[in-house]
Structure 1
Amino acid sequence: MNRKVVIVLLVVATLAVAGGLAMFFESMKVDPAKNLDSSKLPTVRVQEVKYSSIESPIIEKGRLLSNLEVNLSSEVAGRIVESGVPLKVGQKFRKGDLLIKIYDKDAKMDLRAQKSRFLNKLAENLPDIKVDYPDNFENWMNFFNSIKLDERIPDLPEVQSTQEKVFMASRNILGEFYAIKSAEVKLEKRKIYAPFDGSFVEVNTQVGSVAGMGSKLAGIIESKNLELQVPVDSEDIKWLRLNDEVEVLDSNGDLLCMGKLVRKSEFVDQGTQSVSVFVKLKNHKVDLYQGQFLTARFNGKQISEAMEIPRTAVFSSNKVYVLENDLMKSRRVNVLKRNENSLIFTGLKEGEILIIEPPVKATENMKVQVR
């Protein structure tokens, strides 16, 4: 019996000592102070709100196009013969060069035959003209003598009376004269000359092939008169004005030449929601080619009483965070212009502390420290 009591007393004593030790060690443990270690608070970058006048450029890439692009079509049918300028894509030519020639020997012979018949008709009627219209006979005689089979027919003498006009019409002199003029025009259409210095960008025929009436033979461009077509966001088009000076930059961002804004489209591209503007290049000293991509830097419009911040500072399109008593507070702002990496806004009070680099997973009333 005494042995059992001793065992129980030893167990109780052991438990008491263990409990006492546990309480002692627990009392030695220091509770960590919550949020007292500032090194664990998220850090932010801030900037004081201060408004000023801002001139924000608009920088966009565009593609060079020729100001003059012409499709060459045949107005007569016939076989294409050698003209001197090779019918090859990329072939350059000078203004006035013969680009395309359609075989014309048969047309020339037909025209000579028409003039010969016309001379014969005039010769038959000159005696009647001398008798009936002696005051105008010398003019008709000079006209007759000046007609050359290989040259353009000269202008008709001026008819001096109604009776003379009736006489010429009744003998079909007027009809045959204008038939010859029409044949001369058709003969000229067998040769197509270059209207400017340029080059071929498309060729749909070759020497020896037959050109059909109205068929497209080639496409040419004026190589020195270039424009830069630049798509501009529809929201930014309001900042651009005609005749503005524009900086044209190469692929490295270096200034290539100056240009002038000459046209703005009046419609929006459905695919890109952009509006095309056209910049005429001036005094470029390096060779440029149609289809080449360049960068245009527009000055844009000066915006007064505004501030520019990184786009990363804005969330939900038009909200930012400001700092109040080390807590983040959201504010709505009025966005005036969006750039590639920044935006311009108003809507906050000057002097407020704007968070321009908020932490990841930022929330309202989050406690932060300034970097």
Structure 2
Amino acid sequence: MNRRKSTFIIVSLIVLLGGSFGLSKLFISMKPDSPKRPAIDMKRFVQAETVQYGKVISPLEAKGRVISSSEVALVAEASGKVQQGSVALKKGTSFKKGQLLAVIYKDEVELALKASKSKFLNTITTLLPDLKVDYPGSFDAFMKFFNDIDINKEMPDLPDYSNEKLKVFLASRSLLSDYYGILQDEKKLGRHYLYAPFNGAFTQVSFEVGAYVNIGGQVARMIRTDELEVEVPVKNIQSKWIEKGDKVKIYSGNGNKYVMGNVVRKSNFIDEDTQSRSIFVKLPDVSSQELLAGDYKKVEFPGQEIENAMQLPRNAVFNSNEVFVVIEGMLKKKEINVLKWNENTLVFDGLQEGSKVVTQPLINARENSPVGILGEESSGSVSATQSNQNKEQKQSKSK
């Protein structure tokens, strides 16, 4: 009996719960949908300017690296131990043009050259008696040549031997071959001395004093320090405004202090990585300036005159060449023709003169949105709003 009663109670509860759920669903479905509020476009105020074309002078600014006009390798033309020159063979050492930078061990070559000169003197002494008898017109010249020879100095010039018989005589005695052999040995000895080709400094030293170097070995690298240039990478589209010979300003980084330079060349290729074209600016008289190779400096190229154009902030342009204009209180998209890109602005044409172009970036702006122009709010609408507010205040007081 108790089991039947319990079953009845459970079934009754299930029926009641099911009925309640069904009725609630029915009532919910009968409830009318609440009307959706129409989207209201809030009127915003924007900064805008009237399009007026004229002459625009727009300088170009870019950063470039100071480089040396000459950077060369100091290569050994002889093999041997590196010996001290007149300057320290160390990275950063400065030197003057013509100074002895280093010496490659030369003692053996030098002694061999002196031996060749001594042998040559002996050859001439055997020829002088024959010259005096057979070629008296050339004797004095060869005698002077003999006296001018110093084994510690370079060989003097050989006297004239245009006479055919004299030439045969000298050649048969090996005087000509011996003479030019000595000149060749002098050249070989000269290769053991490394002189500075310009005023500069060492940027890298591979073989210091005491090291052994082979022919063709790079002893050091050096740059010229009295003639510097600035290499400025410029986008190809902007490089057309720069001409060879243009006077430019190179800022030293200390406020508005700058030095003047001039464009000496433009590269005829575009760098694959930066997609830019290198402009080279020569710096005059840098010895008194605070400019060193490796520095990055700001360079200002002269302003180019662009006729029938206008400037606009770059951040007001989107999709590369689109802007917003205000037409009858609504935003409209328009395309412009960009003539020149600057760091923060651009020069353009392509819009109708007299139209209102937006000069600020707009976030979440849509075409045909209602807008007002800052500075052109209607004074009438403001006064009407104030009068309505006064009426409402009076009515509230009377109540």
TM-score (ref. length: structure 2): 0.81
Which of 97, 103, 108 in structure 1 is aligned with 2:99? Answer: 97
Please state whether the residue corresponding to 1:272 is helix, strand or coil. coil
Partner of 2:202: 200
Q: Percent identity?
A: 40
Which of 174, 178, 187 in structure 2 is aligned with 1:176? Answer: 178
Which of 345, 348, 352 in structure 1 is aligned with 2:348? Answer: 345
Gap change, CA 1:96 and 1:126, over 3 Å in 2 = same
CA contact (8 A) 2:56 2:306 kept: yes
Give matches, 1:54-73, under 5 Å. Answer: 54-73=56-75
Q: Deviation of residue 119 (structure 1)?
A: 1.2
Aligned equivalents of 1:80 and 1:358: distance in 2?
A: 66
Aligned equivalents of 2:360 and 2:96: distance in 1?
A: 59
Partner of 1:306: 309
Q: Deviations over 1:228-274 (max 9, x none)?
A: 11101110110001111101113355232111111111110011110
Aligned equivalents of 1:49 and 1:159: distance in 2?
A: 87
Aligned equivalents of 1:187 and 1:196: distance in 2?
A: 22
CA contact (8 A) 1:139 1:157 kept: yes
The answer to which of 353-362 and 319-328 deviates more is 353-362
Partner of 1:244: 246
Residue identity opposite 1:116 in structure 2: S
Residue identity opposite 2:100 in structure 1: L
Please state whether the residue corresponding to 1:299 is helix, strand or coil. strand
Residue identity opposite 1:102 in structure 2: I
Aligned equivalents of 1:81 and 1:352: distance in 2?
A: 78
Q: Deviation of residue 81 (structure 1)?
A: 1.4
Partner of 1:288: 291
Give matches, 1:1-371, under 5 Å. Answer: 40-251=42-253, 254-284=256-286, 285-357=288-360, 359-371=362-374
Q: Deviation of residue 289 (structure 1)?
A: 1.4
CA contact (8 A) 1:247 1:255 kept: no
Q: Deviation of residue 358 (structure 1)?
A: 5.2
Aligned equivalents of 1:160 and 1:135: distance in 2?
A: 12
Gap change, CA 1:61 and 1:134, over 3 Å in 2 = same
Partner of 1:5: none
CA contact (8 A) 1:42 1:359 kept: no
Gap change, CA 1:228 and 1:127, over 3 Å in 2 = same
Q: Deviation of residue 176 (structure 1)?
A: 0.5
TM-score (ref. length: structure 1): 0.86
Q: Deviations over 1:59-116 (max 9, x none)?
A: 1111111112221111111211122311110011222221111222222211111011
Gaps of at least 5 residues in structure 1 are: 1-31
CA contact (8 A) 1:240 1:300 kept: no
Q: Deviation of residue 307 (structure 1)?
A: 0.5
Q: Deviations over 1:163-182 (max 9, x none)?
A: 21122112111000001011
CA contact (8 A) 1:306 1:345 kept: yes
The answer to which of 268-277 and 311-320 deviates more is 311-320
Please state whether the residue corresponding to 1:239 is helix, strand or coil. coil
CA contact (8 A) 1:43 1:359 kept: no
Aligned equivalents of 1:320 and 1:331: distance in 2?
A: 6
CA contact (8 A) 2:43 2:369 kept: no
Residue identity opposite 2:302 in structure 1: N
The answer to which of 176-185 and 217-226 deviates more is 217-226
Residue identity opposite 1:354 in structure 2: V
CA contact (8 A) 2:78 2:214 kept: yes
Gap change, CA 1:126 and 1:344, over 3 Å in 2 = same
Aligned equivalents of 1:99 and 1:206: distance in 2?
A: 11
The answer to which of 195-204 and 250-259 deviates more is 250-259
The answer to which of 109-118 and 280-289 deviates more is 280-289
